[in-house]
């Protein structure tokens, strides 16, 4: 193989030279057709405009909203199994990154397994989680 025999994998197309006479195939109107907004210099319509028809982005339903009112984080009982988990508060859960820093309330529900005794302070629990915590000798304040 020689350097002078190397060719690009895909042939590159030359750019169209428009408005260069009738013989070029793109003379006179320069491929813009006859008249109309798009034929004019500065012909503009906004992105998504569909000629007056309701645009696609307005026909589709809105998605992806997260309410700021619901700031209660849900935590599985099994997630409370970590080093130094004797007395657990909301601040400890935030520093361990178990819940979001935006969370104002926490509710623990029965999912997973708890092996050590824990004391919850200022945290809500479900009936099943409460029974599991108290069975191990833990307390809920």
User: What gap in Å lies between CA 133 and CA 126, rounded to an integer?
Assistant: 11
The answer to whether 90 touches 99, Cβ cutoff 8 Å, is: yes
The answer to whether 120 touches 133, Cβ cutoff 8 Å, is: yes
The CATH number that domain 72-140 falls under is: 3.100.10.10
> Integer distance in angstroms from the first to the last C-alpha of the chain?
80
Tens digit of pLDDT at every position of the chain (141 positions)? 799 988 878 877 888 899 999 998 899 999 999 998 889 998 777 888 898 999 999 999 988 887 777 778 999 999 998 887 788 999 999 999 999 888 889 999 999 888 889 999 999 999 999 999 999 999 998
In the chain, CATH 3.100.10.10 covers 72-140
Cβ count near 128 (within 10 Å): 13
């Amino acid at each position: 193989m020689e350097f002078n025999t190397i060719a690009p994998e895909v042939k590159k197309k030359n750019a169209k030279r428009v408005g260069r006479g009738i013989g070029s195939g793109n003379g006179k109107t320069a491929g813009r057709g006859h008249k109309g907004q798009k034929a004019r210099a500065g012909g503009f319509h906004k992105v998504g405009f569909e000629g007056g028809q309701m645009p696609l982005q307005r026909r589709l339903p809105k998605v992806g909203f997260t309410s700021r009112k619901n700031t209660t984080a849900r935590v599985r009982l099994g997630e409370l199994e970590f080093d130094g988990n004797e007395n657990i508060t909301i601040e400890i859960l935030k520093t361990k990154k178990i819940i979001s820093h935006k969370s104002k309330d926490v509710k623990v529900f029965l999912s997973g397994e708890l092996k050590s005794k824990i004391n919850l302070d200022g945290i809500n629990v479900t009936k099943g989680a409460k029974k599991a915590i108290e069975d191990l000798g833990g307390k809920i304040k």
